[in-house]
């Protein structure tokens, strides 16, 4: 008899149906903002240097990379064989480190979304996807600070005559690259988080896997190190074109191959949507298994 009554929300077991409620996510935008703020503020509270740590950390990594891979191991810092850039290795390592640290921290943080937040998620409902989104965004703030620092250092270097900065037209691709980086790292993170609600094994591998992945990406060395015949295999790594294009954008010359770039974009899109679907399916019942 009440069948004519309209309900605002109906909860029933939806079997194998993917429905991502974008409207609802939009309604919770304030929560995203507050989560980002919380992550950022709480990270640097009670530290003397505060957000300066966002700059100091990659700076130290860059110094270590310059010494170990640059000076001691003497690995090449160009992406194309024979290329000669008027560019200190320091800047080369820096942009790689900054980009990788975004990827690294986003994947590792989003990959335990469910496990780390099961306390709060077991008590209150909010769209679960809000958590990985805000993680990706708060890491983006750190990334922004680090890129700004990179620009400052590059500018100082060029004023001192140590480096010649030629921005290339690829600089306009920067927003695209950033979006791709966000989607790729979040996608991988939420796939892992969905898989680890039942089996924790994968979570053990994340740290090690990311470490290994870094060496399969031209971060501590230039792409020129890779022999041409293995290039197709090497380029299956979707992070590589992002990194090399980023360097091309800032350094004025470098490596860009449209085919490999498109492959990387495709992989990113597939990973992201597979991740969304898995997340969507898991989020409804993960409390029973986590």
DSSP, collapsed to helix, strand or coil, labels residue 257 as coil
| Residues with Cβ within 8 Å of residue 97, at least 6 apart in sequence | 58, 61, 62, 65, 219
- Is residue 287 a contact residue for other proteins (CB under 8 A)? yes
Q: DSSP state, 71?
A: I
Residues 247-286 that bind other proteins (CB under 8 A): 284-286
Smaller CB separation from other proteins, 73 or 287: 287
DSSP, collapsed to helix, strand or coil, labels residue 108 as helix
Residues 42-71 that bind other proteins (CB under 8 A): 42, 45-46
Provide the minimum distance between the beta carbon of 113 and other proteins in the complex, in angstroms, as a whole number. Answer: 15
- Is residue 288 a contact residue for other proteins (CB under 8 A)? yes
Candidates 137, 73, 99; CA nearest to 250 is 99
Q: How many CB atoms lie within 10 A of CB 178?
A: 18
- Is residue 289 a contact residue for other proteins (CB under 8 A)? yes
- Is residue 3 a contact residue for other proteins (CB under 8 A)? no
Taking CB under 8 A as the criterion, the residue among 51, 115, 116, 126 binding other proteins is: 126
As a whole number of angstroms, the distance between CA 76 and CA 80 comes to: 10
Provide the minimum distance between the beta carbon of 34 and other proteins in the complex, in angstroms, as a whole number. Answer: 5
Contact of 127 with 24, CB cutoff 8 Å:
yes
- Is residue 216 a contact residue for other proteins (CB under 8 A)? no
Smaller CB separation from other proteins, 138 or 240: 138
| Residues with Cβ within 8 Å of residue 270, at least 6 apart in sequence | none
- Is residue 228 a contact residue for other proteins (CB under 8 A)? no
Smaller CB separation from other proteins, 71 or 285: 285
> Which element (helix H / strand E) includes 57?
helix 52-65
- Is residue 38 a contact residue for other proteins (CB under 8 A)? yes
Taking CB under 8 A as the criterion, the residue among 33, 67, 155, 212 binding other proteins is: 33
Taking CB under 8 A as the criterion, the residue among 124, 160, 169, 233 binding other proteins is: 124
- Is residue 30 a contact residue for other proteins (CB under 8 A)? yes
- Is residue 234 a contact residue for other proteins (CB under 8 A)? no
Provide the minimum distance between the beta carbon of 160 and other proteins in the complex, in angstroms, as a whole number. Answer: 40
Provide the minimum distance between the beta carbon of 123 and other proteins in the complex, in angstroms, as a whole number. Answer: 4
Sign of CA dihedral 235, 239, 243, 249: positive
Q: Which residue, chain included where needed, has tokens 């989104």?
A: 133
Provide the minimum distance between the beta carbon of 223 and other proteins in the complex, in angstroms, as a whole number. Answer: 37
102 burial type by CB count under 10 A (0-12 exposed, 13-18 middle, 19+ buried)? buried
Provide the minimum distance between the beta carbon of 87 and other proteins in the complex, in angstroms, as a whole number. Answer: 41
As a whole number of angstroms, the distance between CA 73 and CA 65 comes to: 10
Q: How many CB atoms lie within 10 A of CB 92?
A: 28
Smaller CB separation from other proteins, 45 or 229: 45
Site residues (CB under 8 A) for other proteins? 2, 5, 7-14, 27-28, 30-31, 33-35, 37-38, 41-42, 45-46, 119-126, 198-199, 201, 284-289
């Amino acid at each position: 008899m009440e069948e004519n009554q309209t309900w605002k929300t109906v909860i029933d077991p939806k079997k194998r149906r993917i429905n991502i409620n974008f409207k609802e996510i939009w309604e919770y935008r304030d929560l995203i903002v507050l989560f980002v703020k919380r992550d950022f503020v709480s990270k640097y509270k009670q530290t003397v240097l505060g957000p300066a740590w966002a700059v100091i950390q990659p700076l130290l990594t860059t110094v270590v990379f310059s010494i170990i891979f640059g000076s001691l191991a003497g690995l090449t810092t160009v992406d194309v064989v024979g290329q000669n850039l008027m560019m200190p290795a320091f800047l080369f390592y820096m942009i790689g480190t900054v980009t990788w640290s975004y990827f690294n921290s986003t994947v590792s943080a989003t990959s335990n979304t469910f496990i780390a937040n099961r306390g709060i998620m077991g008590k209150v409902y909010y769209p679960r996807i809000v958590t990985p989104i805000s993680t990706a965004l708060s890491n983006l703030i750190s990334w922004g600070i680090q890129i700004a620092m990179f620009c400052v250092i590059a500018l100082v270097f060029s004023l001192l005559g140590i480096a010649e900065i030629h921005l290339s037209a690829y600089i306009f691709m920067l927003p695209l690259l950033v979006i791709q980086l966000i989607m790729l790292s979040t996608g991988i993170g939420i796939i892992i988080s969905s898989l680890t609600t039942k089996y924790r094994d994968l979570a053990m591998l994340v740290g090690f896997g990311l470490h290994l992945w870094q060496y399969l990406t031209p971060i501590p060395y230039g792409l020129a190190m890779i022999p041409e015949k293995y290039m197709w295999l090497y380029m299956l790594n979707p992070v590589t074109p992002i990194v090399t294009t980023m360097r091309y954008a800032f350094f004025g010359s470098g490596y860009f191959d449209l085919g490999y770039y498109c492959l990387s974009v495709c992989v990113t899109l597939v990973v992201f949507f597979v991740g969304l679907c898995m997340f969507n399916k898991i989020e409804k019942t993960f409390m029973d298994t986590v």
